[in-house]
Structure 1
Amino acid sequence: MDYSTLIEQRRERFAEVEQLITDPDLFSDPKRGKSVMSEHARLKDLLAMWDELESAKTNLEENRELAKEEDPEMAEMAEMEIPELEKKIETLSEQLQYALLPRDEAEDRDALLEIRSGAGGDEAAIFAGEVMRMYQRYAEQRSWKYEVIDAMPSEAGGFSKAVMKITGEEVFRYLKYESGVHRVQRVPATETQGRIHTSTCTVAVMPEAEDVDVELKMEELEIKATRSGGPGGQHVNTTDSAVQITHLPTGIQVKCQDGRSQTQNKEKALEIIRAKLFEEKQRKQAEEYSAQRRSLIGSGDRSEKIRTYNFPQSRITDHRIGFTTHNMDGIFDGDLFELTEALQKVEMAQKLEDAGM
């Protein structure tokens, strides 16, 4: 397929964005400034990719001609470079196709990540804590920042529930695949007879919602100040700073207690509610996608088992794409890159098919 027309459109847009970033008032609106700078970076990378692809194609043609030369040494050198150039062109073409696809604006956003212990009692809470740490290490490896904005520690260790806000470049783009049920199979530390148990935790990843995405009406909110509870130290147990907010039309209820004041907890609770409402809005839009894509990332169904961590066999399997890795220690230390890349590759193929590309 000839992409030259699309590339010219991107060049014209890049010139417009170049002008926008010279505006001294650009960051008077921080969100708009961040959006413009992100678009500038994407277009710059896209055009550099196109130039690199065109250069590789030119070099390939030249090498094919040189391979026909009567000078055997020259012909051999040219012939040796051809497979490498062909592979480079194939890789760049795939990347270019994906970069030209319509982009979901939510991919550039920060994210709220909610983890809840599921079936399995104390072991489920411990597992939820390990999964939370896994995402914290992953955030560090991607140079993102994270903040725990709500947590309910379990007396056995780990958490019955935890919510983190993760900020950085394209956070939701890389974390969006993590929503669903995560299952662990192993012998718990509390098991005396060496039996393998199966426990679960639920992960929900929600793009940060903006005021323009979701309108919260105060008359639709029930806000209560409550006493903080659960393990967590003297401050948490002795103050009435916790805030519980219920969104009456949907019944969504959020309680925040990690902040040092009611005001902080109210702001965090509203942020979580706004993200949950935006997630629901996105879910409905995703129902218009193909069934295959919904099964990968579109539904974000919290009841869907997406991944199993089998400790006895040091095996992690993502059930949506049938991908298996044995890098158990690396995964729990935040090395999710292999899993993410495999999921992205499948999604890219589906998007290209949907787009007729």
Structure 2
Amino acid sequence: MSKIDQFMSGRLRERKDKLSIRNLSTNILPVDFCSNDYLGFARSGELKHLINTNLASMPDYLNGAGGSRLLSGNTKFTEETEQFIAGFHLAESGLIFNSGYDANVGLLSSVPQRGDTIITDELIHASIIDGCRLSHATRFKFHHNDINDLEDKLKLSKGNIFVVVESVYSMDGDMAPLIAISNICERYQANLIVDEAHATGVFGANGRGLINQLKLTDRVFARIITFGKALGVHGAIVLGSKNLRHYLINFARSFIYTTAAPIHNVAAVRSAYQYLNKIDHQLIHQKIALFRNTLKEQNINAIDSESTIQGILFSSNEAAKLAAAHLQSKGFDVRAILSPTVALGKERLRICLHTFNTDEEIISLVNHLQELN
């Protein structure tokens, strides 16, 4: 075995010993409490029909972009879609990236410079962490949703200051205190960046997100909207000023040096936004309320969350995996989230609620959770 193979095998063995090894699986269980398809868009026949209708209006579209947006991969339809999405979210402008990961890495690796400061919540998404690492800026993190600790870090900051949070956190499902964060950012002349991945489609008028719901659209420097959660398709957009869009076109490496998304992907995104106007936006909140109320009736402790993401904590990887296996044996697709993805001792079941989950399925899931106590 070569030296590099020994290294890789050793790292994998460490993961196996800690019961935290990751493996791909094609096993799909009958009742989905796992995916980020909160509104059922990914499985929607009506959305599929709308996508096909939009594509039919462009019969000469290419199978692939053929190059980056700066070469052969740009189209009028893509730019119109960007402006359509920006208008929907009440933003001045937007730039589409191939994924949420690309959007966060591109934004955070290019805008903050040496001598600037980035401050992130300690539970921020890995893509944001990686983007910050690629920046030459000084980096701090503050205790989760702790305004006092954020202010302590702001007092140490120099240069252009960027505060980065998620509106809804992907593992705990709780919300950032965005109004308080916005107020303190203005006091210290810091630029607020908000990842709305898990709020888009769920909160705000017609699913515009928490920034819109809280009327903070004019108080943020940038928003990251991803299309692969509630919108059920793929990609992301960075929303902000026209100046920011032009800057990212020139300096965001994850935008510049990658082949553009094919036009049928852009059409899917455009269609998903059109479909948002056709759904009952209260239904997902009714499902969340039913789950929370049933938990309370059964005296089951869960992370406090008003979002589609609900967490049941366990004390170890082994305990979380055993709990997931029990629910999976009953047909529920519920996954354990293990350390190091989450902090040691905060392993959990991450339960995602959807509009297509029946009331009976939700109540049955909670009943089986009760069996774990």
**What TM-score bracket applies, with the shorter chain setting the length?**
under 0.3
More helix by share: 1
Tell which has more relative contact order, 1 or 2 (C-alpha 8 A, sep 6+).
2
TM-score, reference length from structure 1: 0.26
Answer with 1 or 2: which has the greater Rg: 1
More strand by share: 1
